[in-house]
Amino acid sequence: MTDSLLRTRDGHHARVGFVELFFDLVFVFAVTQISHSLLHHLTWEGAIHAAMMAAAVWWSWIYTSWVTNWADPERVPVRVALFVLMGLGLLMSTSLPEAFTEKGLWFAVAFVATSMVRSGFMLFAARDNAMLKRNFLRIIIWQIFSGVFWIAGGLMEGEWRVGLWLAALFIEYISPAMFYRVPGLGRANTAEWTVEGGHMAERVGLFVIICLGESLLITGATFAEATWTPEVIAAAAVAFVGTLAMWWIYFSAAHEAASEVISKASDPGTLARRAYTYCPILIVAGIIVTAVGDELSLVHPTGHVEPAVAAVLIGGPLLFMIGGLLAKLAVFERWSIPRVAGCVALAALWLAAPFVMPLGLAALTTAVLIAVAGWETWSLRTA
């Protein structure tokens, strides 16, 4: 139909629109807020709070990316909907640092409103597509269910808020795996999800670039304010090279191949759900934690490595590597030997942590990232 708000599936790659890139800018701020919050609260409690916020922010973003995989962002109503979601996303992002204190209700309301606006709009946009309309009716019912826990958590304090929000996140993340099953409406059939693999791969890739860019911003800003001693210069170089290595690993030839596999799959929805909905959260979390580790090694490159510092210096790259390993497994259904070896090597660095300085530990994790990137590149060239 000429008035359809949905993309046409004509066999050509659906390009990412400028309005989608504009929408992503809100999440640059969100990622920065999370990394700064973790940096200033480097405790188990702070780590749990940061992980929960990262999970919520990622979920809000990836759901919108699924929507723009179906809805055409060149149509004015779709753009207006994205602008409304941007405003709600900005409110959500600004409340992140105090989400577990006085701005919890603001965060919860912004998150739930984002879900309702997004899914409600898709019910309208897909009004002539029975499959999509029925699917988003199931989705909005699940989101109303989780929304009760989000709002209740925003009204409570302390451990009650954490518990209720953990329940909300569990409902959010389990709903796709449950195929949005609703009594009377049945369950979704992922084989009917007409996913454009190239668009989805590009959207997730752009979010990864946002996170890597935020890592570079932290490195640059911290380095600019520091006294440029040889140790500080070395720490900045290590952080920069480590970011380059993560980019190299993520945007390998496998990234392009994955979009082709999904595009030609008999059940693209299942592949896209595994590879681009669940797995990237570990990649994103890894980059955020690595950025915190980079700043810590820049501020204190020498001296004893505290356990919390070791946790972020090793944990960030390890989370990134595990996420990349699982994403590759989800698409190609085989284990990546270089990435398995990288996970093992990074985990083994816990044994070295008591004997090196923060700069030394950061250099070792970067060396592992470089080795994995080089190994994968060499393997592809000799295959």
Of the residues 154, 188, 222, the one at which a domain ends: 188
Both 130 and 65 in one domain: the answer is: yes
Both 177 and 222 in one domain: the answer is: no
Both 157 and 227 in one domain: the answer is: no
What are the residue ranges of helices labelled H in the chain?
Answer: 18-40, 44-70, 76-95, 104-125, 130-155, 158-177, 197-225, 230-250, 253-264, 268-273, 280-299, 307-332, 337-348, 358-382
337 inside domain: yes
Both 243 and 117 in one domain: the answer is: no
pLDDT for position 1: 42
Both 64 and 92 in one domain: the answer is: yes
131-144 residue pLDDT tens: 899 999 999 999 99
Structure-block tokens of residue 153 = 């958590």
Both 211 and 171 in one domain: the answer is: no
339 inside domain: yes
25-78 residue pLDDT tens: 998 899 999 999 999 999 999 999 999 999 999 999 999 999 999 999 999 999
Which residue matches tokens 């988003």? Answer: 136
13 inside domain: no
C-alpha 76/C-alpha 88 separation (Å) is 19
Both 28 and 114 in one domain: the answer is: yes
* pTM for this model (two decimals): 0.92
204 inside domain: yes
pLDDT for position 14: 67
Question: Which residues fall within 8 angstroms of residue 191, CB to CB, at 6 or more apart?
Answer: 266, 267, 269, 270
Of the residues 126, 153, 188, the one at which a domain ends: 188
Element (H, E) at 336: none
151 inside domain: yes
5 inside domain: no
Of the residues 137, 167, 188, the one at which a domain ends: 188
pLDDT for position 50: 96
299 inside domain: yes
**Residues with pLDDT less than 70, the chain:** 1-2, 9-14, 191-192, 253, 263, 266, 382-383
pLDDT for position 268: 72
- DSSP symbol at 128: T
- The range of the structural domain enclosing residue 373 comes to 197-382
Both 210 and 153 in one domain: the answer is: no
Both 30 and 148 in one domain: the answer is: yes
Both 234 and 314 in one domain: the answer is: yes
How many domains in the chain?
Answer: 2
pLDDT for position 116: 98
Both 49 and 92 in one domain: the answer is: yes
269 inside domain: yes
Both 27 and 125 in one domain: the answer is: yes
pLDDT for position 246: 97
